[in-house]
């Protein structure tokens, strides 16, 4: 089945080497990164993979002067997609300079809620009635000069975990604060949403995507109660999942923790065959990755610049 | 590239607006007939044109609590097609959940609107175009918008009648937050919050200028909206060719003072009418359908005693 997804990915590559969010759309960094991660996962070592190489060239050509990547063509500032672009480059030593520039930008990128004045103001203000989350922790934001949120923090943590050997200052402390932030933002009973576990005293509802990425980012702590509760939540709701993106992600998250469920992949396959609406590039890439027997893409550690 | 949008005009130089209130007791009612007949009265210029319906599809909604109801979306699509639109697309970009297919499957939109492959557009991930903001009421100087939104000849904001814990109410103007692509700004579109929600609403609507608004008030949401509030049946559809006037009328139906909703007050300076003297009311009267919505404590100042002079002046 993974071959069908990979063939589809290759067929949807744009002439500039990138991928859009959907077939026929302009190339963007986020779907291009996911397509490249999927192609790399299944690439053969026996010969060159031209779509992969063209995609990598697109990616590195799109890097901004400061080492970051922007989410859309023409945007002057980099953002969360920098983590994904770095992830896509991790396995490719020929692009280690580009990768290191991206990692440095990530390491230096601070969300607005990490500043001392902002944290003091938040502590002094009576916001407990609105949300219970701690102002002491911070991770990464979606876009510059905004607050920490779950998903961009997960992506950054994953790629910086893989880059632990890279010469980046203060990395351990940043990772510590970001992990603490993720646990602080977990929904009551397990699982994550975008980052609002409570609003005005009402518990937020977890979502599949953020939960899976948090479980991947926090995989080192697999024995923690929060990880187990979140896995339980994911297992409990898996029968209600209907979309290919969430089916693929649930399989990836459960599989990483040894809780694979063959019915998820069967449903993913039948969903692909019935094809209610065209799948996004990310859905195709994640579906391919969900079929990987030995998911190296989640443990890429060997090709880091030092 | 961006579609031509009307000039920004102060209230004294704008013509009167029209807003219709129609009683629709339940989602099992003949919504298509009500919408079609009412839209004919407005005679919107959609013949041969591309229409984009922008409902509020914010989260998984199997119980029909938070999103614009699929029966209303399908009825609006059918009505604009009957009025001669060449194409009617449905598009939204949730601010909190990037899995749009999960959202539309959860609310069974396909069962109501038919196959979605060629008519549904995820505004979060469409191709984008940069637009310099005309108003710059917030700190934002420019925003990227989905190309389909800028290419459509006629944009219809199609929200649900809800209170909102940051903005007071979320109606047709606040609904346009969903037109800002998550693929550029993330989930949530936090840059809009930091820029100031109320002023960002003005900036977005001044840039996009929805041509029409249809508020699904058959069952709304009160209290801690837009996600965690309580169901509030109001039994109405509120529609018109001036989204500010539609939102003002909707707020009055909810028992709230639109003049005190910051983003409506901002929008009234340039985009549409909030003054009931400038809004020609069609169909039911506000007083006839008034259904007071509860609000969280931070917005208690929006509530107005029904016997006060201001309330009487605005609602009868």
Q: Tell whether A200 is within 8 A of chain B (Cβ).
A: yes
State the pLDDT at residue B313.
Answer: 42
> SS3 of A9, please?
helix
Domain assignment of residue A305, yes or no: no
- Count of domains for chain A: 1
Say which range, A90-104, A131-145, B113-127, has the weakest mean pLDDT: A131-145
- Residue A247: CB atoms within 10 Å: 28
Residue-wise pLDDT tens digits, A7-65: 999 999 999 999 999 999 999 999 999 999 999 998 876 667 899 999 999 999 999 99
State the pLDDT at residue A3.
Answer: 84
pLDDT exceeds cutoff 80 at A118: no
Domain assignment of residue A303, yes or no: no
Q: Tell whether B132 is within 8 A of chain A (Cβ).
A: no
Q: Tell whether A246 is within 8 A of chain B (Cβ).
A: yes
Q: Element (H or E) spanning B124, and its range? A: none
Say which range, A271-280, A285-294, B193-202, has the weakest mean pLDDT: A271-280
pLDDT exceeds cutoff 50 at A304: no
pLDDT exceeds cutoff 80 at A119: no
Q: Tell whether B166 is within 8 A of chain A (Cβ).
A: no
CB contact under 8 A, B190 and A147: yes
State the pLDDT at residue A202.
Answer: 84
Q: Tell whether A233 is within 8 A of chain B (Cβ).
A: no
Residue-wise pLDDT tens digits, A153-207: 999 999 998 887 788 888 899 999 999 999 999 999 999 999 988 877 788 899 9
| Phi and psi, residue B307, nearest 5° | -90, -5
Assign residue A211 the CATH number of its domain.
Answer: 1.50.10.20
State the pLDDT at residue B308.
Answer: 52
Helical segments of chain B, H only = 31-42, 70-82, 100-106, 109-113, 147-151, 182-185, 190-195, 197-208, 243-253, 262-268, 286-289, 309-315
Domain range spanning residue A235?
A: 2-298
CATH 3.40.50 fits B11-315, yes or no: yes
Domain assignment of residue A228, yes or no: yes
- Residue A141: CB atoms within 10 Å: 26
Q: What is the mean pLDDT of chain A?
A: 89
**Bridge-based pairing state of the strands B160-164 and B168-170:** antiparallel
C-alpha–C-alpha distance, residues A152 and A149, integer Å: 6
C-alpha–C-alpha distance, residues A185 and B6, integer Å: 43
State the pLDDT at residue B246.
Answer: 98
C-alpha–C-alpha distance, residues B209 and B71, integer Å: 25
- HEC string of chain A equals CHHHHHHHHHHCCCCCCCECCCCCCCCEHHHHHHHHHHHHHCCCCCCCCHHHHHHHHHHHHCCCCCCCCCCCCCCCCCCCHHHHHHHHHCCCHHHHHHHHHHHHHHHHCCCHHHCHHHHHHHHHCCCCCCCCCCCCCCCCECCCCCCECHHHHHHHHHHHHHCCCCCCCCHHHHHHHHHHHHHHCCCCCCCECCCCCEECCEECCCEHHHHHHHHHHCHHHCCCHHHHHHHHHHHHHHHHCCCHHHHHHHHHHHHHCCCCCHHHHHHHHHHHHHCCCCCCHHHHHHHHHHCCCCCHHHCCCCCCCC
pLDDT exceeds cutoff 70 at A128: no
Domain assignment of residue A27, yes or no: yes
State the pLDDT at residue A306.
Answer: 46
State the pLDDT at residue A129.
Answer: 55
State the pLDDT at residue B2.
Answer: 63
Interface confidence, given as ipTM, is: 0.93
pTM: 0.94
pLDDT exceeds cutoff 90 at B14: no
Whether the upstream peptide bond of residue B188 has omega within 30° of 0, thus cis, is: yes
Q: Tell whether A109 is within 8 A of chain B (Cβ).
A: no
Domain assignment of residue A306, yes or no: no
Chain B interface disruption, residue of A130, A146, A247, most B CBs within 10 A:
A146
Average pLDDT estimate for B136-147: 95
Nearest to A202 among B59, B190, B224 (CB): B224
For residue B31, the distance in angstroms to the closest alpha carbon of chain A comes to 26
State the pLDDT at residue A302.
Answer: 39
């Amino acid at each position: 089945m993974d071959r069908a997804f990979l063939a589809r990915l290759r067929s949807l590559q744009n002439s500039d080497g990138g991928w859009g969010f959907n077939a026929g759309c302009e190339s963007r960094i986020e779907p291009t990164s996911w397509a490249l991660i999927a192609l790399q996962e299944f690439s053969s070592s026996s010969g060159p993979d031209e779509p992969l190489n063209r995609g990598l060239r697109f990616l590195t050509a799109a890097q901004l002067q400061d080492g970051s990547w922007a989410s859309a063509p023409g945007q002057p500032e980099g953002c969360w997609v920098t983590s994904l672009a770095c992830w896509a480059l991790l396995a490719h030593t020929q692009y280690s300079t580009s990768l290191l520039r991206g990692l440095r930008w990530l390491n230096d990128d601070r969300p607005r809620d990490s500043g001392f004045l902002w944290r003091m103001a938040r502590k002094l203000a009576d916001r407990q009635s609105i949300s219970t989350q701690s102002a002491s922790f911070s991770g990464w934001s979606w876009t510059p000069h905004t607050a920490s949120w779950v998903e961009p923090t997960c992506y950054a943590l994953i790629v910086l975990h893989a880059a632990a050997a890279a010469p980046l200052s203060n990395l351990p402390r940043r990772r510590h604060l970001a992990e603490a932030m993720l646990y602080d933002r977990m929904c009551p009973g397990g699982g994550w949403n975008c980052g609002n576990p409570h609003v005005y005293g009402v518990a937020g509802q977890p979502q599949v995507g953020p939960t899976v990425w948090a479980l991947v980012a926090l995989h080192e702590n697999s024995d923690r109660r929060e990880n187990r509760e979140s896995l339980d939540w994911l297992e409990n709701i898996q029968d209600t999942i209907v979309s290919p993106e969430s089916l693929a992600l649930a399989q990836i998250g459960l599989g990483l923790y040894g809780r694979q469920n063959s019915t998820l992949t069967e449903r993913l396959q039948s969903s692909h065959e019935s094809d209610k609406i065209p799948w996004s590039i990310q859905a195709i890439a994640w579906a391919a990755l969900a079929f990987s027997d030995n998911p190296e893409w989640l443990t890429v550690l060997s090709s880091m610049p030092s | 590239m961006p579609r031509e949008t009307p000039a920004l005009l102060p209230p004294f130089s704008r013509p009167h607006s029209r807003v219709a209130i129609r009683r629709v007791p339940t989602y099992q009612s003949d919504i298509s007939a009500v919408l079609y007949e009412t839209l004919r009265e407005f005679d919107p210029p959609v013949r041969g044109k591309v229409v984009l319906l922008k409902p509020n599809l914010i989260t998984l909604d199997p119980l029909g609590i938070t999103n614009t109801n699929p029966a209303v979306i399908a009825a609006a699509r059918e009505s604009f097609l009957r009025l001669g639109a060449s194409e009617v697309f449905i598009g939204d970009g949730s601010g909190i959940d990037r899995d749009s297919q999960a959202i539309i499957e959860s609310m069974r939109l396909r069962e109501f609107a038919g196959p979605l492959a060629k008519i549904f557009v995820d505004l979060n991930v469409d191709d984008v175009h940069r637009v310099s903001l005309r108003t710059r009421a917030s700190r934002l100087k420019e925003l990227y918008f989905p190309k389909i939104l800028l290419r459509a000849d006629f944009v219809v904001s199609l929200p649900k009648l809800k209170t909102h814990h940051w903005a007071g109410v979320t109606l047709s103007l606040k609904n346009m937050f969903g037109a800002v692509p998550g693929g550029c700004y993330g989930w949530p579109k936090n840059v809009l919050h930091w820029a100031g929600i109320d002023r960002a609403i003005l900036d977005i609507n001044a840039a996009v200028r929805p041509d029409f608004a249809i508020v699904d008030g058959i069952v709304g949401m009160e209290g801690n909206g837009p996600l965690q509030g309580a169901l509030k049946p109001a039994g109405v559809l509120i529609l018109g060719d001036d989204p500010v006037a539609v939102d003002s009328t909707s707020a009055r139906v909810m028992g709230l003072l639109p003049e005190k909703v910051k983003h409506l007050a901002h929008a009234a300076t340039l985009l549409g009418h909030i003054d009931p003297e400038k809004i020609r009311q069609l169909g039911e009267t506000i007083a006839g359908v008034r259904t007071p919505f509860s609000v969280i404590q931070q917005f208690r100042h929006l509530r107005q005693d029904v016997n006060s002079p201001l309330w009487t002046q605005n609602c009868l």
